[in-house]
Amino acid sequence: MSDVLAVAEHRRGELRDVSYELVTVGSEVADATGGDLHLAVISGDVDAHAEALNLEGVDAIHTVDHGEEFNHDVYAQVVEQVYDAVDPQVLLTPNSVNGLDYGPAVANALDLTYVSDAVGVEFDGSTLTATREMYSGKVETTTEVEAESVAVSIRSAEWPATETAGDASIEAFDATVDEDAVKSTVKGFEEVGGGDVDITEADVLVSVGRGIEEEENLDLVRDLADALDATLSSSRPIVDNGWLPKNRQVGQSGKVVTPDFYIAIGISGAVQHVAGMKGAENIVAINTDPNAPIYDIADYGIVDDLFEVVPALIEEFEG
């Protein structure tokens, strides 16, 4: 029998989707060995969050009412204390930006083997087997952890959310937060990426990635966007380079778009990009690499050089 402890995530008053997905993974892992699934709900409106997470498969919810928002120094201390009390064999955290900000510290402090960004997890009570991607998603690996204790961060949107209500025990956990050890202060939040264009409103997006190589070459995709009466968007490197403003970025840290047609040109389809466009009605990929992950989600594709295909496509609509 082995117990699992999963740490919920919320931000600015809302539970994040990954919390419900953690319940799914956590109960799968716990059920496999007849163990219990414990959840830690830390900071914010813990009672409301605990109520919402009282879902099928959850055995116990431990709430720690301390501060409003995520602070990694608080999370690190509290997770360590809940871990010590529950004494689970598996610790699950989200592989979110905040998960990256405390998971590795907690794993190191507790001397747990850390497996990050898992897209699959199996546990037989002694060996945990995780599926992970490597080399920007070109290959998958099966990784075995021969460890007594292991921390796994899970990729979001890989497991379905658990939605059925449950009957977990909900209890306030008596944590001691050493304020002297809190050496960071979250001062606030800012929304970025506003401005003149709202790519989330577009029916057709012509989206450009690093395959375009040079800033001058952007004219080519601009011409295509004009010819198709479409809006121009991009992957992250184009924005990082300062070639397009932040409000054009599609993906995890940019915008989530759901157009009728998303035409990805020279975009590999990294998970953080796909998070922003997988809901598009029709996905078209133009990419020289037949193994690029974008083809896994594309509806239509042309495995060829964009510098040949895009001019021909413009010709089709303007010629």
Partner 1 sequence: MKVLVTVKEVAAVEDEFEIDGTAIDEAYLEYDLNEWDDYAIEEGVQISESEDDVEVVSVTIGPERSEETIRMALAKGADRAVRVWDDSLEDAEMLDVEAKTNLLAAVVEEEEPDLVLSGVQADDDGFGATGVSLADEVGFEWAAVVNDLELDVEGGVASVRRELEGGVEELTDVDLPAVLTIQTGINEPRYASLRGIRQAQRKEIKPMTLDDLGLSADVAESDLEIVDMYEPETESDATLFEGSPDETAGQLAEVLRDGGVGQ
Ligand X SMILES: Cc1cc2nc3c(=O)[nH]c(=O)nc-3n(C[C@H](O)[C@H](O)[C@H](O)COP(=O)(O)OP(=O)(O)OC[C@H]3O[C@@H](n4cnc5c(N)ncnc54)[C@H](O)[C@@H]3O)c2cc1C
CA 51 to CA 36: how far, in whole Å?
18
Kindly state whether residue 44 participates in binding partner 1, applying the rule CB under 8 A.
Answer: no
Cβ-based nearer residue to ligand X, 82 or 274: 274
Kindly state whether residue 236 participates in binding partner 1, applying the rule CB under 8 A.
Answer: yes
Least distance from partner 1 to the Cβ atom of residue 208, Å = 16
Residue 211 partner contact from ligand X, partner 1, none using kind-dependent CB cut-offs of 5 to 8 Å:
ligand X
Kindly state whether residue 14 participates in binding partner 1, applying the rule CB under 8 A.
Answer: no
List, in order, residues 6 or more apart from 173 with CB less than 8 Å away.
40, 62, 63, 64, 78, 81, 82, 85
Least distance from ligand X to the Cβ atom of residue 288, Å = 4
Task: Specify the amino acid at residue 316.
Answer: E
Cβ-based nearer residue to ligand X, 148 or 305: 305
Kindly state whether residue 179 participates in binding partner 1, applying the rule CB under 8 A.
Answer: no
Kindly state whether residue 126 participates in binding partner 1, applying the rule CB under 8 A.
Answer: no
Least distance from partner 1 to the Cβ atom of residue 273, Å = 13
Residue 259 partner contact from partner 1, ligand X, none using kind-dependent CB cut-offs of 5 to 8 Å:
none
CA 288 to CA 285: how far, in whole Å?
10
Burial of 119 (0-12, 13-18, 19+ CB in 10 A): middle
Sheet holding 37-42, edge to edge: 113-118, 150-154, 90-94, 4-7, 37-42, 60-64, 169-172
Least distance from partner 1 to the Cβ atom of residue 134, Å = 5
The footprint of partner 1 on this chain (CB under 8 A) covers a number of residues equal to: 97
Site residues (CB under 8 A) for partner 1, limited to 93-112: 95-98, 100-109
Tell which one of 204, 223, 245, 278 touches partner 1 (CB under 8 A): 204
Stretch that binds partner 1, among 38-46, 48-56, 170-178, 246-254 (CB under 8 A): 246-254
Residue 210 partner contact from ligand X, partner 1, none using kind-dependent CB cut-offs of 5 to 8 Å:
ligand X
DSSP structure class, residue 209: -
Stretch that binds partner 1, among 20-28, 44-52, 81-89, 230-238 (CB under 8 A): 230-238
Kindly state whether residue 124 participates in binding partner 1, applying the rule CB under 8 A.
Answer: no
The residue among 3, 97, 92, 79 whose CA lies nearest residue 41 is 79
List, in order, residues 6 or more apart from 202 with CB less than 8 Å away.
230, 231, 233, 257, 259
Site residues (CB under 8 A) for partner 1, limited to 247-306: 252-256, 260-261, 282, 284-285, 288-291, 293, 295-305
Task: Specify the amino acid at residue 19.
Answer: S
Structure tokens at 113: 């083997």
Instruction: Please report how many Cα atoms fall inside a 13 Å half-sphere around the Cα of residue 289, on the Cβ side.
Output: 16
Kindly state whether residue 240 participates in binding partner 1, applying the rule CB under 8 A.
Answer: yes
Which helix (H) or strand (E) is 218 found in, with range?
helix 218-228
Residue 174 partner contact from partner 1, ligand X, none using kind-dependent CB cut-offs of 5 to 8 Å:
none
Structure tokens at 61: 């919810």
Cβ-based nearer residue to ligand X, 10 or 236: 236
Give the end-to-end CA distance of the chain in Å, rounded to a whole number.
Answer: 69
Task: Specify the amino acid at residue 131.
Answer: T
Other C-beta atoms lying within 10 Å of the C-beta of residue 293 = 21
Q: Contact, 234 vs 248, CB < 8 A?
A: yes
Kindly state whether residue 19 participates in binding partner 1, applying the rule CB under 8 A.
Answer: no
Least distance from partner 1 to the Cβ atom of residue 149, Å = 10
Instruction: Please report how many Cα atoms fall inside a 13 Å half-sphere around the Cα of residue 148, on the Cβ side.
Output: 3
**Residues 52-91: x/- map of binding to partner 1 (CB under 8 A)?**
--------------------xx--x---------------
